């Protein structure tokens, strides 16, 4: 259950994998989380993408998810994003002490939905604040 949804902006510094990026979060009022030289790790809400490596070997599915994430949201770009806060979490909703959000793409669609539509991600219900 979601208590609050915040609209913020995220500048993508670099992608780690298909569901995690390092970025700078513009929280408004000249308040930022992270910097370009020390970006914050951010998790995309509600999806899970394949790991980049399996048994210490490159995973083609993980690399394809990473490539598609970079196409949808190129490094160096800024996007409006939605940050979710479920009831009872006074410090905000973070998994592993990192922001959990979804990017709003230029056409108004959501990043998570686009990744799932192309088969690069599956729903991750444990990380969904919308349930």
- Predicted TM-score of the model (pTM): 0.85
Beta-strand (E) ranges in 37-99?
A: 40-44, 47-48, 53-54, 57-58, 78-85
Mean pLDDT of the 46-62 span: 95
Angle at 77 between CA 44 and CA 28, to 5 degrees: 75
Cα gap 63→49, rounded to integer Å:
10
Instruction: Reply yes or no on whether the pLDDT at 76 is more than 50.
Output: yes
Domain ranges of the chain: 4-127
- Residue 64: per-residue pLDDT: 98
Whose CA is closest to 123, among 65, 68, 66, 46?
46
CATH T-level topology, domain 4-127: OB fold (Dihydrolipoamide Acetyltransferase, E2P) (2.40.50)
- Residue 15: per-residue pLDDT: 98
């Amino acid at each position: 259950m979601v208590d609050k949804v915040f609209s913020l902006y995220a500048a993508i510094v670099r992608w780690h994998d298909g569901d995690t990026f390092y970025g700078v979060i513009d929280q408004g009022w000249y308040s930022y989380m992270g910097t370009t030289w020390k970006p914050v790790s951010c998790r995309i809400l509600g999806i899970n993408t394949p790991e980049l490596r399996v048994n210490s070997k490159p995973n083609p599915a993980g690399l394809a998810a990473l490539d598609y994430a970079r196409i949808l949201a190129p490094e160096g770009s800024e996007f409006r994003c939605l940050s979710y806060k479920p009831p009872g979490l006074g410090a905000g909703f973070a998994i592993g002490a990192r922001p959990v959000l979804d990017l709003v793409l230029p056409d108004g669609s959501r990043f998570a939905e686009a990744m799932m539509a192309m088969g690069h991600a599956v729903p991750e219900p444990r990380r969904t604040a919308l349930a």
